Structure 1
Amino acid sequence: MANLPLELGKQFASLGASSVYGEQQDVDGIRIIPVALTWSGFGAGEDTSGGAGGGGGGTAIPVGAYVRKNDDLRFEPNLVALLAVGIPFVWVAGRALSRVIRALKR
């Protein structure tokens, strides 16, 4: 398994828009394109004696879908997933704002 990191890189080079946008589905004349928030991480290594190893993982959270009815195209969010994704961002922003305010008071 020479150059294991290069092999992993080749395998996952195609990750991108195809992992975020699903395949278009047609249901009763309505076109639906699912959208997800995805991230992944991978690693590999080799030692001088020829041993090699690697691993990785990822996740996807469905955030909604683009829905096209006739000439009308709109995004319909998955509210539960958006709240699950948004809560950590709101917490971090609030924490940072409180620290900025505390620093400005000094």
Structure 2
Amino acid sequence: MANIVSQIADKVRPVGVSTNYGEPVEVGDQTLIPVSIGWFGFGAGGDDENGGGGGGGASIPVGAYVRRPGQDLQFEPNLISLLAVSIPTIWVTGKALSKVIRALKK
């Protein structure tokens, strides 16, 4: 089992900033640097005879840094991704507020 964990660690170690910031791309006279939110996780378990493990990850594009000639670097968000990420947060906040309000009424 320790062998599996060390193999996973060796593969994950080189992952860094390049996971969330892409390579600059030239589009016409503009330079774009894509930005995303990324995360991953792994787990393993077992005993001397049986064991198992797994892992997963996700990446959500949130926008890009854009450099135009004669202008400073600006961040332009990907509104569709930001809405998709914020909808669950808004839903959970609404559920929590409704429970708090219900508790205060009692």
* Matches of 1:41 and 1:93, distance apart in 2: 25
Percent identity reads: 55
Query: What is the root-mean-square deviation of aligned Cα atoms in Å?
Result: 2.1
Residues 5 and 45, structure 1, Cα contact 8 Å, conserved in 2: no
* Matches of 2:39 and 2:13, distance apart in 1: 13
* Matches of 1:14 and 1:98, distance apart in 2: 44
State the match for 2:32 in structure 1. Answer: 32
Give unpaired runs (5+ residues) of structure 2: none
1:9 partnered with 2:6: no
Give unpaired runs (5+ residues) of structure 1: none
State the match for 1:100 in structure 2. Answer: 100
1:19 partnered with 2:19: yes
Equivalent positions of 1:2-81 (< 5 A) are: 3-45=3-45, 47-49=47-49, 53-70=52-69, 71-81=71-81
Letter in 2 for 1:28: G
Equivalent positions of 1:82-93 (< 5 A) are: 82-93=82-93
* Matches of 1:104 and 1:2, distance apart in 2: 51
Moved over 6 A (4+): none
* Matches of 1:98 and 1:45, distance apart in 2: 39
TM-score by length of 1: 0.81
* Matches of 2:35 and 2:13, distance apart in 1: 20
Residues 4 and 45, structure 1, Cα contact 8 Å, conserved in 2: no
